[in-house]
Structure 1
Amino acid sequence: MAIQPINGISQTNNISNVNSALRQDDFIKLFMSQLKAQDPLEPVNNQDFLAQMAQFSLLESSRMSNQELSAVRQLVESTQGVSLIGKTAETISGGNSVMGEVISVGFNSSGTVVSLKSKDASGEDLYLNDVPVGNLSRIYK
């Protein structure tokens, strides 16, 4: 079984959506329905029920681990974003590479974002706001 790497927020959100869809109450309802619907002449083996309980426990443990890892990822990303203030960063905007100084860091539902202060072709200040940290291609001292 191949394990896919976590490349971005969208994958994490997809995983949390799947995990939040299945709760312990859902398993209990399914379990009780299965008990009610079983054939009294051929009841389900106790080992099968224990295996299902073990699988659910493993699923719940995996869900909790994913939540904790997501919190750690957000903390690391936040720390990384704050450490970028005052540094020069490069990103792509409008198909062009733009280099500018990181002047602020923000946090929104999609993750950590930065604002860059750069100069346009005429020498005027240009501000790029809400650039996701993941979109920065290079960081300079």
Structure 2
Amino acid sequence: MAVPPISSVSDIQNTQQMSNNLGQDDFIKLFMSQLKAQDPLEPVNNQDFLAQMAQFSLLESSRMTNEELARVRQIVDSTQGVGLMGKFAEVPSGSGTVLGEVVSVGFTSAGTVVSLKAKDNNGEEFYINDLPLTSLSRVFSGE
């Protein structure tokens, strides 16, 4: 019996927030349109121009920081996943929880996933594959 992975609410909200924000290219287009449409008799004030350039610089810095943090998060997730090898983990299921041994770790574009080897009520082994780390409710060092 496989437990299907589900996205967390925060992942969905982060994706929606990112699509609602203006990007670097959008900022440049707006800035260039403003420069083209300005009145030649009353050009943009130097202070306003510098403030906009500072905003552009801040936007670029923020974008680069977010990219670096995403890479750091991938490294932390993969290290955490490898550290779970051989340990026992609990996963919620429709009828309660399933306890199984972490037997493999995988790395996907969505993040780190693990596979559990568990036993049903009859003692038969089965595998639950591609579980995101966020779906594990508890981790044990022994059974």
User: Residues of 1 paired with 2:53 and 2:77: CA distance?
Assistant: 36
Q: CA RMSD in A?
A: 2.2
Query: How far 1:93 moved relative to its partner?
Result: 2.4
Structure 2: runs of 5 or more not aligned: 1-8
Higher RCO (CA 8 Å, separation ≥ 6 residues): 2
Match of 1:22 in 2: 23
Give ranges in structure 1 of 5+ residues lacking alignment: 1-6
Structure-2 change in CA distance of 1:71 and 1:12 (3 Å): farther
Range 116-125 or range 34-43, more displaced: 34-43
Using the aligned pairs only, state the percent identity: 66
Q: Match for residue 6 of structure 2?
A: none
- SS of the aligned residue for 1:128 comes to strand
Runs of at least 4 residues of structure 1 off by over 4 A?
7-19
Measure, in 2, the Cα distance between the counterparts of 1:135 and 1:67: 25
1:88 maps to 88
Would the aligned equivalents of 1:87 and 1:102 in 2 still touch at CA under 8 Å?
yes
C-alpha distance in structure 2 between counterparts of 1:85 and 1:75, whole Å: 16
Report 1:71-110 matches (<5 A): 71-110=71-110
1:15-94 matched pairs, under 5 angstroms: 22-23=23-24, 25-94=25-94
**TM-score, with structure 2 as normaliser:** 0.81
Q: What is the aligned residue count?
A: 133
Give the stretch that moved more between structures: 40-49 or 25-34: 25-34
SS at match of 1:44: coil
What is the Cα deviation at residue 17 of structure 1?
A: 5.2
Instruction: Output one character per residue of 1:30-65: Cα deviation in whole Å (capped at 9) or x when no partner.
Output: 222111111233322111111011011111101100
Counterpart CA distance in 2 for 1:14 and 1:83 is: 32
